[in-house]
Structures are given as C-alpha cells and as structure tokens.
Amino acid sequence: MLDPELPTLTLEDLGVLRSVQVEPSGKVLVVLTPTYSGCPALEVMKRDVTDALFAAGFTDVQVDIELQPAWTTESLGRQARQKLAQAGIAPPPDRVAEALPLRLSLRCPSCGSVRTHEISRFGATACKSLWRCLACGEPFEHFKTHL
C-alpha cells in the first residue's frame, strides 16, 4: 500500500502501519499512526487498507488510528530514506542526534551539494519544505524531521 502523499513509500516504509493482526474469527485489525494528527491523507490511507484487505478476501476489517506513541521520523528505515532520496526528496537525518531545531543547509538529492537554501517552510504537504540547490539550481523537497 503506497502512501498517498509520498507514493515512493509504502505505509510500512513510512512507519505509519503500526500493526496488522488477524483474529481467530478472521477479523483483521489494523493500526495506523499518521505522520501528524491533522494529516489530510489519513482517510485515504484507511480506505486503501480496507479496500486491499477486502480484495484479498477478508470480510471483517477494522482500521484504528492511534496517535500514541506519536510517529517520528525515526520510524523511517534506511530503505525508506534511500527511496526518498531517489525520488528527489531530501530525507530527514538518520539519527535524532544529527537533527537540529534550525537546519541551515541540506544535501541536494540531485548533485550532493550542501550549498542549498530553504525557499518555503511548507512544500506540497505540511510534512515537507521546499529547497533549492545553489550548485545545480534544482528545487527539491525535504521531508521535515519530526521528533
């Protein structure tokens, strides 16, 4: 199941899919944790999960939303970060220790330069910001760090 806002990542890659449990009765319980509580794609995610499970033959599906523990960018694995970079989106730092409250520069996913600057704090979605590389001139999105 692809994330509706970041279709290069699955819900599992993103860390939004917290659990899937099949009860002895055949009922499937799914828990999703959105990247933030106001995520506009949440209803689409719930519908996509439900539709996929119905298509797989399950008839009793329950998708719950849990906000605690909150989703953080630490939920992204190495493969998810690589997929973001390959899609031209600068991923958040691998470790919390590398994250700064104020980010002065990012590495350009196209050419690797750190000569970049933020154009807008908000990109196509609230979880991304818009940057431009001063070396190659390419604009790119950055998946913001959420701790």
- The answer to whether position 48 is within a domain reads yes
| 107 closest CA partner among 143, 73, 79 | 143
Residues 44 and 91 in one domain: no
Per-residue pLDDT, averaged over 61-77, amounts to 90
Q: Please indicate, yes or no, whether residues 59 and 94 belong to a single structural domain of this protein.
A: no
Other CB atoms within 10 A of residue 145 CB: 17
- What is the pLDDT at residue 146? 66
- Per the CB < 8 A criterion, the answer to whether 3 and 10 are in contact is yes
Which one, of 100, 73, 89, lies nearest residue 123 by Cα?
Answer: 89
Among 6, 25, 26, 27, which Cα is nearest to 16's?
A: 6
Residue scoring higher pLDDT (18 or 127): 18
**Domain check: are 100 and 53 in the same one?**
no
Within a domain: 61:
yes
Q: How remote is the C-alpha of 83 from its chain's centroid?
A: 11
Overall number of domains in the chain: 2
Which domain does 23 fall in, by range?
Answer: 11-65
Q: pLDDT exceeding 70 applies to what percent of the chain?
A: 91
Across residues 69-74, what is the average pLDDT?
87
How many whole angstroms separate alpha carbon 41 and alpha carbon 77?
A: 21
Query: Does residue 74 lie in a domain region?
Result: no
Single-letter code of the amino acid located at 136: C
